[in-house]
Amino acid sequence: MATPTKARGLKHGYRSGLEDKISDQLKGSGVKFTYESMKITYHVDELRKYTPDFILFNGIIVETKGRFTAADRKKHLLIKEQCPEFDIRFVFSNSKAKLNKGAKSSYGDWCNKYGFLYADKEVPKEWLSETF
């Protein structure tokens, strides 16, 4: 059974409540964006495709994460290595959450270690106004 926030997100065409919330924030800020409109090809042992959550019209890719699994982390390191032209940033429900039970490192620590920008709960206004 879906949680109330996930159910709301699904109702509005998103995969999670956080995606729905970010969509509302972007719309409320007057920022143009697309949702899951791009596929980025990368290789593991086989060809795979990644569908980013939000692509802002300034080129920033915003990936929302409630849970940031080991598989997600591995995927994003491969994409960063193989597709460095993409500026992928994360918005977490809680960047202080630990990578796994008993871990000392958090989602935010992982982002700092590997050079990803991140935020909690909403897209920072600075990201919305960046130009390249």
Q: What residue numbers bound the domain in which 40 lies?
A: 4-129
pLDDT in tens, 65-75: 999 999 999 99
Residue 13: its pLDDT value, please? 82
Residue 10: its pLDDT value, please? 67
pLDDT at 9 > cutoff 80: no
pLDDT at 23 > cutoff 90: yes
**Residue 129: CB atoms within 10 Å:** 10
Structural domains in the chain (count) = 1
CATH code, domain carrying 55: 3.40.91.30
SS3 at position 34: strand
pLDDT in tens, 54-101: 999 999 999 999 999 999 999 999 999 999 999 999 999 999 999 998
As a whole-number percent, the residues of the chain with pLDDT over 70 amount to: 92
What count of Cα atoms within 13 Å lies in the side-chain half-sphere of residue 24? Answer: 11
Residue 91: its pLDDT value, please? 98
Sign of CA dihedral 25, 62, 87, 105: positive
Q: ∠ CA(110), CA(97), CA(81), 5° rounding?
A: 25
Q: Which residue has the higher pLDDT, 5 or 77?
A: 77
Q: pLDDT band for position 47 (50/70/90)?
A: confident
